[in-house]
Amino acid sequence: HSVEVWCLNIISLFSGAGGLDLGFEQEGFCPVLACDIESAAVETYNYNRKGTIAHIADLSSVTGDDIIRKINKLKLNKLPRGVVGGPPCQYFSNGNRSTRNKNDPRRILPINYASTLRRLNEEYELDFFVMENVYGLVYPSFREDLEYIIKMFEEAGFRVFHDVLDAYDYEVPQFRKRVFFVGWSK
């Protein structure tokens, strides 16, 4: 007889090489689709997982419907229950102060994440999402951006919580503050 292994399917957006996903995998979550614009990151992601979960996708233009079509082609036994990801964050980075431009397209990537999340939630009735970004997003100078991003997550159907965590406090040998957004289905 076979033993069924518990696994909760998730979608990964702005997945990079899969570091955030790895933490979820270690806790029993299964990424069924990962998307990132960088081909080297997608190659690394798939190489480390011995599969083709990750795909090259420009998430500034790919829609929730595009993601849904890709997932439907997978013919999954269980639908996705959550979404994780970390949109590029250079616009909000403290290291970008001298060259910051309000028209930087990376500024709206968290909003693209929220829009895609909304469509995925309509389709799959998700339980949660997690998004991580640079600590700079919570600086007073980005208050309007932060409030708008939270509003978009709420409109996508989630109760949203956010906090700044430092990797050092979790036994990682570096000081690395990041802001995490966690949303639970309303």
Tell me the pLDDT tens digit for each residue of 16-33: 999 999 999 999 999 999
Q: Is 89 a catalytic residue?
A: yes
pLDDT at 104: 67
pLDDT level of residue 136 (50, 70, 90 thresholds) = confident
Residue 51 has pLDDT above 60, yes or no: yes
Distance separating alpha carbons of residues 121 and 142, to the nearest angstrom: 27
pLDDT at 30: 95
Whole-number average pLDDT of the chain: 90
Give DSSP secondary structure letters for 146-163: HHHHHHHHHHTTEEEEEE
* Interval 90-99: pLDDT, tens: 767 766 665 6
pLDDT at 97: 61
Q: What is the mean pLDDT of residues 3-7?
A: 64
How far is the CA of 16 from the CAs of 113, 144, 148, in angstroms? Answer: 14, 27, 24
Residue in 180, 184, 150 with CA at minimum distance from that of residue 167: 180
* Interval 146-166: pLDDT, tens: 999 999 999 999 999 999 999
